[in-house]
Structure 1
Amino acid sequence: MQLDRIDFAILRELRKNARLPNKSLAERVGVAPSTALERVRRLREQGAICGYHAEVAPAALGIGLQAMISVRLARHARADLDAFGSYLSTLREVLAFYHVAGANDYLLHVAVRDSDQLRDFALDAFTTRTEVAHIETSLIFSFRRNVDLPVYRAAVE
């Protein structure tokens, strides 16, 4: 996938506001509306744009507490990793999970109502699993998503 500076500008603007009207997007990146529309279509088709989502206020869903849970598995067998990853996908409290390198194997971002629910969730969801050797929970006091693009390759002119 070859992206140029206009593509990067479009991605940057859509990352900030995916509901940006096409006319406004075109003005911000300095192209005609028809060009912006075609570029966005091509970026979707090529997989550079994977989807759109709504940021939902946690309190609106009754979420009063978020945490990161580090999980260390007892073994590093592929079957255990695959089974645990599949299991995590079924847990509604898990907002995102990452298979990571280091002392722990997984890092989970979870959202719950309160500390009682967090305790019960951690105990019920993880200490009952035979592949889990250790868990460690860290409370999240604040959370912000960076809307800027991390660009690691030069845009082609």
Structure 2
Amino acid sequence: MPADDLDKTDRAILAALQNDGRMSNARLAETVGLSETPCARRLKRLENDGYIDQYRAMLSRTALGLGVVAFVHVRFAVHDRATATRFEREVQAIPRILSCHNVSGSADYVLQIVARDLDDYGAFMRDELRCLPGVTSVESALSLREVKPYGGLPLS
């Protein structure tokens, strides 16, 4: 189903679940102004149609002792499919790399990385990131503070 086929109620269900993925069907139905059975049917359809990928908890970086967030531009000297495939496969296996985007512009990839502190981040750069296939240069931008955390996708 194309996104244009989502009605106001479908969008309200998706918005409510982005704010609280553990919301019960009863509370969700009340929030969007439906009775429980039609709400459950709509939710099942939204899941089956792929609008909801998964449910997960948002963990606190601070509570977990991950005080450093870095956005890293990675550059390759040689651009071949095999190297990119190996790089992407290895990045997938590193938990502290929260996201990886293949981008246009001066960098080949932009990564979001977390670390306990600057020493931990430096060791990760030296011992892991710079050793990945294809990497010839990296440029880090350290987050000083998060102004707007990930709050979900726009649904308007």
* TM-score exceeds 0.5: yes
SS at match of 2:141: strand
Residue matched to 1:37: 40
**TM-score scaled by length of structure 2:** 0.89
User: Displaced runs of 4+ in structure 1, greater than 4 A?
Assistant: none
User: Counterpart in 2 of 1:149?
Assistant: 153
Aligned-residue RMSD, C-alpha: 1.7
Mapping of residues 6-155 of structure 1, within 5 Å: 6-143=9-146, 144-147=148-151, 149-151=153-155
CA shift for structure 1 position 136: 0.5
How many Å separate the matches in 1 of 2:144 and 2:10? 35
Q: CA–CA distance in 1 between the matches of 2:133 and 2:44?
A: 46
Cα pair 2:87 2:133 within 8 Å, conserved: no
The size of the alignment, in residue pairs, is: 152
One-letter amino acid of the structure 2 residue matched with residue 149 of structure 1? L
Provide the identity percentage.
33
5+ residue gaps, structure 2? none
Distance (Å, rounded) in 1 between the aligned partners of 2:133 and 2:152:
40
The CA deviation at 1:89 is 1.0
SS at match of 1:61: coil
1:155 paired residue number: none
Letter in 1 for 2:153: L
Amino acid at match of 1:36: C
Shift of 1:151: 3.7
TM-score normalized with structure 1 length: 0.88
